[in-house]
Amino acid sequence: MVATIEVHCWYGSPIADGGAIAGGADLSSEDNCAYSAANRAAHPIALGMNSFEKWMRVKITGAPDNWIGQFKVWGDGAVYAGTTLKYGTTGTGTAPTNDPSIVAVNDFTTAVAGTKGVWDLTVRTPAMIAIDPWTNYLVFQLLVAAGATPGAWTPEVIYYEYMEA
């Protein structure tokens, strides 16, 4: 059988599952899992500040025949001028913050198709998935320079992959 998965967004204190992501998740000045122009407009990131961390992880909703694992992530190597997109992973969730992240510390522009970033390399069998269907968290945070040009920015497309057998 082919594995089925859902990418979920997590927010709040204590951290709670906001549900499967439909289309994306906004990096904004608010700790939420919304993805809409209205959310971005209502919660802009002030110049010189950080977004709230965006915590995501995969729920394996249908186990493969043998195993699933080797989750990796990458982008196109560029972000909007005046911003820095950081990412990292952890197995333990905690309330998102807009203070400098202690998890999202890697520069996302280095995670490209030829050098993908690690999300979760654990190989899970159907028996393991029956006990715990979740991957590690993937955490993003956007840092906006004081000199960045204010206004609406283009979305960042984040790609992910995994292997299964």
The residue with greater pLDDT, 149 or 161, is 161
For residue 23, pLDDT over 90 is answered with no
124: confidence class by pLDDT, cuts 50, 70, 90: very high
Is the pTM higher than 0.85? yes
Taking the C-alpha atoms of residue 49 and residue 21, their distance in angstroms, rounded to an integer, is 25
- In the chain, the domains with their CATH numbers are 4-164 (2.60.40)
Summarize pLDDT for 35-81 with one digit per residue, the tens: 999 999 999 999 999 999 999 999 999 999 999 999 999 999 999 89
> What is the rounded average pLDDT of the residues 77-87?
94
For residue 152, pLDDT over 80 is answered with no
Separation in Å, CA 20 to CA 29, 35, 150: 21, 12, 30
The residue written with tokens 């190597």 in the block is 77
The residue written with tokens 């909007």 in the block is 80
